[in-house]
Amino acid sequence: MPARTSAINPLTQESFMSLTAALIPALAALALQTAPVSKDRSGPMASTAMTATTEAQAVTFAPLEIPDGAGPAIEAGVWTPADRPRAGLPLVVISHGNGGDFRSHEATARALAEAGFIVAALTHTGDNWRDQSQATNMPQRPRQLHVLIDYLVKDWADRDAIDPRRIGAFGFSSGGFTVLTAAGGEPDLARIGEHCRAHPDFYDCGLVATRGAPPSLEGQAWVHDARIKSVVAAAPALGFSFTPEALSGLTQPVQLWRAENDRVLPSPFYVEPVRDALPRSPEYHSVAGADHFDFLPPCSARLAALAPMICTPTPGFDRAAFQDRFNRALIGFFRRTL
């Protein structure tokens, strides 16, 4: 494997503990700076009666609560063009990273909706800022994404607006792992043990040490969704678990993003193995000067004061300008592939 760039200093065990102690409150602050979701959790939320439209952005938003036969209802949100046609729109689903929620990439969701996509994001049960009890239960993530897609195309009140032949998926960090797996990847979680023996100070290994290893898949299978026609993965977690054999079933177009100075998931253990194992060369972007959290939207001044962990600017890097380029790249990719 190529050596890590000397300028990148991965987290030490001590800094991992500091990061985990700060990260969940920071992501909570990020979530709570947006408009609150209805606290009525007694059943599925209506997709038309509970909408909010921003005139300047011409995007309609609705919170959703989706039944999940294998666990609690899944919290989600959906963004649609305010003047959408009645049928035929592509759908993009979004999977957040460890400790986030469905609002983690709201700016990207709105940008995609403004460009004519229906966009839905979920809060992963057991891996969000309120609840970390299943933070390492990776098999649940693609299953939950499948439940989201199923609901939208079969049960959502506005399902006729979706073209089920045009579904894409975007994920960041643990969400990147999620969308790669949901689209056909078969990660080998047994590789985590060897990886963490060699790199116990890495963020994912610290998470495993505190939350436990992912459950065994013995007698089970990864949940895939063949309706996913293209994938965007930014800084995917557990990239080392994807071998060429593991990714042989993922033949859809993939746009893959790497933060050059990622200290949470440092090179060459995460993005590069995915890039090299995909059966079809991805559209690959290595973002010069970026760190891990630069894939999240810029912070307001209030949020920056509450959550310096994810908001402190990366020296010499313009997160706002990058987010604009990033969103435009996603829009272009999904327009070409859906």
pLDDT reported for residue 307: 79
pLDDT reported for residue 304: 82
CA angle 161, 297, 26 (to 5 degrees): 115
Our measurement of the distance from residue 288's CA atom to the centroid of its chain's CA atoms, rounded to an integer in Å, reads 21
State pLDDT tens for residues 235-277.
999 999 999 999 999 999 999 999 999 999 999 999 999 999 9
State pLDDT tens for residues 229-241.
999 999 999 999 9
pLDDT reported for residue 35: 44
Dihedral pair phi/psi, residue 281, rounded to 5°: -55, 130
| Buried b or exposed e, range 132-155, using 16+ CB within 10 angstroms | bebbbbbbbbbbbbbbbbebbbee
| 325 three-state secondary structure | helix
pLDDT reported for residue 241: 97
Distance, CA of 285 to CA of 288 (rounded, Å) = 9
Which residue do the tokens 């939208």 mark?
Answer: 152
- Give the containing element (helix H, strand E) for 206: helix 203-211
> Which DSSP string do the residues of 111-170 spell out, in sequence order?
HHHHTT-EEEEEPPTTSSSS--TTTT-TTHHHHHHHHHHHHHHHTSTTGGGEEEEEEEEE
| 231 three-state secondary structure | strand
Distance, CA of 177 to CA of 214 (rounded, Å) = 13
Rg of the chain (C-alpha set) = 19
What ranges make up the beta strands (E) of the chain? Answer: 52-54, 59-66, 74-81, 89-95, 118-122, 162-172, 228-234, 254-259, 283-287
Low-confidence ranges of the chain (pLDDT < 70): 1-57, 217-220
Q: What are the tokens at 88?
A: 């035929």
